[in-house]
């Protein structure tokens, strides 16, 4: 779902299979360049995901505003910052889902409810992030490219 964090729209993944709320370090570096001035020490905890062990480099608290026509909801969850997480955006785990009363196990419609008011529904939809940074897209295209060993240094430079 799309939420507001620091006056900008950001993706929030609500994951009923994740115990802790996390955010990828590279996401913070890209969208919140000064985030390192804010983290708190990581509590001694081991983190694992389906792809293996995860390295936590700190925690950060971000105010999240979930927009709704009948009044916005404000949350202040603490996210573990993982150096090697492969997510774009923030992931809200069951730690804060339980705390704020977020219910993801409701009807056939794609929505969540927060707190005791089950009539106030927040719609969910697939949020596709597209990077429009042409340099980053170009770097990704050529990441595994190599120069031919038969080229001279001058020829290699002319290609750049």
Render pLDDT for 60-78 as a digit per residue (tens, 0 to 9): 889 999 887 778 889 999 9
Domain at 129, CATH number: 2.40.70.10
Residues 28 and 85: beta-carbon distance below 8 Å:
no
Q: 59 falls in which pLDDT band (50, 70, 90)?
A: confident
Q: How many structural domains does the chain have?
A: 1
**How do beta strands 8-14 and 2-5 pair?**
antiparallel
Distance of alpha carbon 135 from alpha carbon 142, whole angstroms: 11
Q: For tokens 């050529």, name the residue.
A: 142
Angle, alpha carbons 43-12-110 (nearest 5°): 130
Percent of the chain with pLDDT over 90: 7
Which residues form the domain of 27? Answer: 2-159
């Amino acid at each position: 779902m799309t939420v507001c964090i620091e006056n900008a729209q950001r993706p929030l993944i609500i994951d009923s299979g994740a115990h802790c709320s996390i955010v990828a370090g590279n996401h913070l570096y890209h969208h919140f360049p000064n985030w390192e001035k804010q983290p708190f020490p990581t509590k001694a905890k081991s983190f694992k995901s389906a792809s293996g062990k995860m390295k936590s480099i700190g925690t950060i608290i971000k105010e999240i505003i979930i927009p709704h026509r009948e009044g916005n909801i404000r949350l202040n969850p603490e996210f573990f910052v993982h150096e090697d997480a492969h997510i774009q955006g923030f992931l809200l785990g069951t730690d804060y889902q339980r705390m704020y009363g977020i219910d993801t196990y409701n009807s056939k419609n794609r929505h969540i409810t927060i707190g005791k008011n089950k009539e106030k529904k927040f719609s969910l939809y697939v949020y596709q992030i597209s990077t429009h940074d042409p340099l980053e897209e170009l770097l990704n295209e050529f990441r595994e490219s190599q120069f031919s060993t038969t080229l001279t240094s001058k020829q290699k430079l002319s290609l750049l």
